[in-house]
Structure 1
């Protein structure tokens, strides 16, 4: 059996590149694997040789020790790969295909999948609807920050790129289709962004920047991005966004300077549960800050897209309520303003083919917008450390040498 190398969470602040098993068409016991999934046969799956796999802010939450992720969990849910083996039940995906893997694991058979709600598949995680690779409480499907990875329900889940050479040429853009580009676009779309909209996006990390690109694709008149990190704000300005430094105070005041009014049509939360306060409180964690601010600055009748991650278990929460994902929200304000909210995992398959076409036909350059930076698999620990320090980059792991610029 061939060897495999993978990035594993070892404990708060620590990741390590380890030797691990080559995938088989059966889910084995291991860190984070739901006992009910152990021994689950995967004849409908495919084994991929990883072309690219990205470090995500959601991974960073686990690595900081802000979830209940167990030590030894193999990380990585943003995966692009080449098919090297297929199970006996795979009919359409072929060996040699270059494919994007939605981070949602979906069966394609349950009621939710048939309704397009692939982020909350009912059959892949025994604990709750929804699953993902290499993530806490998501059923235990092994992560893809590795040389090889198993993908179940391959005919359903995998998005095949139409031309191998073109795909490899544009791989730094296409690698974003597994998560952050659809997720950011979903945030803008569910916030009701349309031609002529004004939109405020909280967070200039990769998902926030992807949401800004998505808002531009949807025709927004003005896209405003708020953050504490000057380098990330500069990246937002590099592709035409206005910016707000929330360390300087209430974003409403700066929005009024930009628009002439202190409100926007649409708001996007691309920060999540590790949010900090605004102004003089910017050095302190205040997990409800972004959601409350968005309710305040979004116009009556508007909508909030909330792709930022919120969890049900946070050992590092600032109080007992936060440790179980309970936040002090001004829901009365949101109700009074008739605001709409969309939360949860992005259903990647709803958007990934259309966004692929936008990339392949040069309508968008998402890699430039998010600062795609290829690094080797063995450099993953340093990549995590740099990202944690606020690097304005999206680190793309290159475990098998497909990315020639790495």
Structure 2
């Protein structure tokens, strides 16, 4: 059978290209596979030849050693691919289809899936609701930074692109549908962004830029992006965002300079648990709740916070014992006093990916340009991880099988 190379986490700061088995329609034992999932039959699955598979900030948390990920865990949950084989239980997806793979693995059969809460499927991860490819504590489904990957419940999970030639013309944009574009959109929607909104997005990494893009798509009047990284802020300005440099002070006074008032209608946290305090330049110390607390300060009373940034329950590198368990010093009193709403958790990708696909195919949005997507080879993945970790204003898209020009 065809060979299969994959990007694996080795130890903090190190990823490596390794040889792994070609997928079969069974979940086998391996690094990070939940014992209760070993031997699980997947007749409803499809084997995908990877067209594009992206490096995500969530992968970076694992690679920094900030999770309990085991060595040799195959990475990658942002997958776009061509179907090369289907299991006997697959009815509608066909060999040759080019599809986006939502990063959430969902069964389509449980109560949550039926309610469109595909980020917290009850049947795919024996540990807790919700699963993703190539991610710690998510059941052990093998990651997609590889030549080939198994997608379970293929008829349910896969979003087929209507026309192959049209899809390949816009493939760098469509590659963002597996995670960051729906995730950013979910952050904006759950923050209540609509026509005329003023929006603050904390973080100018790819998810922050996707949230800002989404806010524009939803009709926001002003989209402000805050970060410590000038290259990433420049990227935000390239598609019409206002920006604030948090190395020069807190967000409230800089927002006031833009809007005339020190508050916004809607706030989005696209940073997550490795947040650093503002006002201290690039040597800012990690302060995990700093973004959430500042968002509560600057979001208008009655407003909402969308929190697509990742927070974990196990962080070996946490700044204190509480942070190691995901317990943060939140100013919940501020949120209560201002009647703020919060939405956290995995984005239910299927809730949005078809509409966003149509927006891409009909030229309503240029997400790849906005996040500065760049294709690199599978062999260059370690270099891509290192550059992304160093703050490159780039969304790295791996090209394992040569589909991308």
TM-score category of the 2 structures, normalised to the smaller one = over 0.9
Q: What does the per-residue CA deviation read over 1:4-29, in whole Å, with 9 as the maximum and x for residues that have no partner?
A: 00000001000000011000000000
Residue of structure 2 equivalent to 1:305: 306
Q: What does the per-residue CA deviation read over 1:223-250, in whole Å, with 9 as the maximum and x for residues that have no partner?
A: 0000000000000000000001011111
CA distance in 2, matches of 1:280, 1:395: 28
Residue of structure 2 equivalent to 1:366: 367
Residue of structure 2 equivalent to 1:289: 290
**How much does 1:2 deviate?**
2.3
CA distance in 2, matches of 1:26, 1:74: 16
Residue of structure 2 equivalent to 1:136: 136
CA distance in 2, matches of 1:290, 1:2: 46
2:208 is the counterpart of 1:177: no
Structure 1 residues not aligned, in runs of 5+: none
Residue of structure 2 equivalent to 1:53: 53
2:323 is the counterpart of 1:322: yes
Classify the secondary structure of the residue corresponding to 1:21: coil
CA distance in 2, matches of 1:35, 1:224: 45
CA distance in 1, matches of 2:11, 2:100: 29
Residue of structure 1 equivalent to 2:216: 216
Q: Which runs of 4+ in 1 moved over 2 A?
A: none
CA distance in 1, matches of 2:137, 2:333: 31
CA distance in 2, matches of 1:389, 1:250: 23
Residue of structure 2 equivalent to 1:164: 164
TM (norm. structure 1) is 0.99
User: Within 5 A, what are the aligned runs for 1:3-152?
Assistant: 3-152=3-152
**How much does 1:219 deviate?**
0.4
Residue of structure 2 equivalent to 1:352: 353
Q: What does the per-residue CA deviation read over 1:324-353, in whole Å, with 9 as the maximum and x for residues that have no partner?
A: 101000000000000000000000000000
How many corresponding residue pairs?
404
Classify the secondary structure of the residue corresponding to 1:304: strand
CA distance in 2, matches of 1:144, 1:104: 13
CA distance in 1, matches of 2:384, 2:228: 20
CA distance in 2, matches of 1:55, 1:247: 26
**How much does 1:159 deviate?**
0.1
Q: What does the per-residue CA deviation read over 1:332-378, in whole Å, with 9 as the maximum and x for residues that have no partner?
A: 00000000000000000000000000000000000000000000000
Name the Cα RMSD after superposition: 0.6
CA distance in 1, matches of 2:158, 2:76: 16
Q: What does the per-residue CA deviation read over 1:27-69, in whole Å, with 9 as the maximum and x for residues that have no partner?
A: 0000000000000000000000000000000000000000000
Residue of structure 2 equivalent to 1:382: 383
CA distance in 2, matches of 1:280, 1:26: 50
CA distance in 2, matches of 1:94, 1:86: 7
**How much does 1:283 deviate?**
1.5
Residue of structure 2 equivalent to 1:205: 205
